[in-house]
Amino acid sequence: MLNTSPFIQYQNLISANKISFDDSQQQAVELLQNLYEAIEAEDTKVIPSTAIKGLYLWGKVGRGKTFLMDLFVSSLPDTLCKRQHFHHFMQDVHHQLKDLSGQDEPLKRIAEAFSCKYRVLCFDEFFVSDIGDAMLLGNLMQFMFDLNIIVVSTSNCAPSELYRNGLQRDRFLPAIAAIEQHMQTLHLAGEHDHRLRTLTYDQSYFELSAKQSIEEQVALHQSLLTRFDLKSDAVVQTSHKDSEGRIVAQAKTINILGREMTYIAKNIETENHVICFDFTELCEGPRSHFDYIELAKQFTTILLFNVPPMSGQSYERIKARGTEDNGSNINVSAGLTGEREVMLAPMDDAARRFIALVDECYDCAIDLFITAYVPQSELYNSGSLMFEFERTKSRLVEMASLEYRNKA
């Protein structure tokens, strides 16, 4: 192996006072060290061992899951290990499926392609909310494990809780079974959110107070645009309030993944590429995490204006015969009548997109500046996405710091 083991790296960081000792992380360090040593031991063998299990680290936000996994990744050569955010991995899978259209067993071919390049795949933020991803993963994960690919992943939930309440979840259960069979599962149950350690505050979230006049709100937006040399005097001056009282500006469009997206202003003339969007355009329209991945490739700073409160209570309904099942009980894709079905609150789709946007910005060290109509603590404080939004709140705190800026 070319690099220092996870255990030595961890100890060196403690000795240098760059991190503080956390007893809850010790078992994870030991398991990652054992995995490193097992891979190192087989490095001289012609035939890879089939007995090496991967590792699934899960727990609340800020417990050090990504940090620990990255110690493991940095201990292995790039030719042996690939590390990706899980959204990026799924984007690669969808692209490969498109290229393999019409061929037999495309998921098996994709798994074989990964196994030819890498011994280890590491996924950060393993989380499934899209039905398309859920349908693919059952077979893909099994193919990967059959080929002896070692998988290490981080997640905010236990394997059994993945794709909770998702449509046709029974078709995702094989993926959960494969994870539990081929990966050791460890819950990082520490009490401390390491992201909330002492940080040097650097404001990136600006509240549009109800006490402000429209002129004051426009001035705030203009100051942010001017800060990043965004040429939009005319745009800001033609701003007006929509029916909900939010500021809407005349804007232009940019092509992202074959679709036009309306933006308020952008600057690609300097090394720091900046773009500004209204929340409605970036999070309330037909967007996916793939759009945010592409934006993160093109820009280093994103301004998001007019973020509204996104809280809202979801509710349950009972499926009735003659509606979802067209009068019969054979439409499996629609689910059985009499089942409980969770209906989302009005802003939940937008909240999911906002979560994905923050995740992508954080993962790629993109600067994100926000103006919003409520304090940051009130963006989402009730509804079915409370679990998912905890990570977003923690990340927004860290992203408003000089330490994050320096990393970016």
* Same domain assignment for residues 101 and 14: yes
Residue 394 lies in a domain: yes
Q: Is 287 helix (H, G, I), strand (E, B) or coil?
A: coil
Assess whether pLDDT exceeds 80 at residue 165. Answer: no
In terms of domains, do 302 and 358 share one? yes
Question: Does residue 298 contact residue 273 with C-beta atoms inside 8 Å?
Answer: yes
Q: Are residues 306 and 394 in the same domain?
A: yes
185 and 212 part of one domain: no
How much is the average pLDDT of 147-168? 91
Q: Tell me: pLDDT of 235 over 60.
A: no
Pairing between β-strand 315-318 and β-strand 252-256 as defined by DSSP bridges: unpaired
What pLDDT digit, counting tens, does each position of 173-205 carry?
Answer: 989 999 999 999 999 988 777 766 667 889 999
Q: Compute the chain's Rg from CA coordinates.
A: 23
Residue finishing a domain among 139, 162, 194? 194
Predicted local distance difference test score (pLDDT) of residue 319: 43
Least confident range from 28-42, 106-120, 235-249, 254-268: namely 235-249
pLDDT above 90: percentage of residues in the chain: 56
Q: In this predicted structure, what is the pLDDT of residue 247?
A: 58
pLDDT value at position 149? 95
Pairing of strands 150-155, 54-59: parallel
**211 within domain boundaries:** yes
- CA dist., res. 358 & res. 385, Å (int): 15
Residue 100 buriedness (CB in 10 A; 0-12 / 13-18 / 19+):
middle
Q: What is the pLDDT of residue 43?
A: 67
Last residue of a domain, one of 135, 162, 194: 194
Query: Rounded to 10 degrees, what is the CA torsion of 279, 256, 96, 297?
Result: -80
- Does 233 lie in the same domain as 161? no
Identify the helix (H) or strand (E) that includes residue 96. helix 86-99
In the prediction, which pLDDT does 344 show? 61
Residues 172, 274, single domain; the answer is no
CATH of the domain at 76: 3.40.50.300
Do 352 and 383 reside in the same domain of the chain?
yes
pLDDT band (50, 70, 90) for residue 346: confident
Mean residue pLDDT of the chain comes to: 84
User: What is the reported pLDDT for 325?
Assistant: 34
Which of 194, 216, 238 is at the close of a domain?
A: 194
Within-domain flag for 261: yes
Q: Total domain count for the chain?
A: 2
Tell me how far apart the alpha carbons of residues 72 and 5 are, in angstroms, rounded to a whole number.
Answer: 7
Does the residue 190 lie in any domain?
A: yes
Rounded mean pLDDT of 147-165?
Answer: 93
Whole domain around residue 387: which residue ranges?
Answer: 198-312+347-407
Span 255-304, pLDDT tens digits? 999 999 999 999 988 888 999 999 999 999 888 888 999 999 999 999 99
Distance CA 101, CA 118 (A): 24
Coil/strand/helix, residue 88: helix
The string of pLDDT tens digits covering residues 378-392 is 999 988 888 889 889
Return the pLDDT at 185. 97
Specify whether 96 is located in the same domain as 178. Answer: yes
The mean per-residue pLDDT over the stretch 331-360 comes to 70
* % of the chain beyond a pLDDT of 70: 83
Average pLDDT over residues 33-52: 76
CATH number at residue 212: 3.40.50
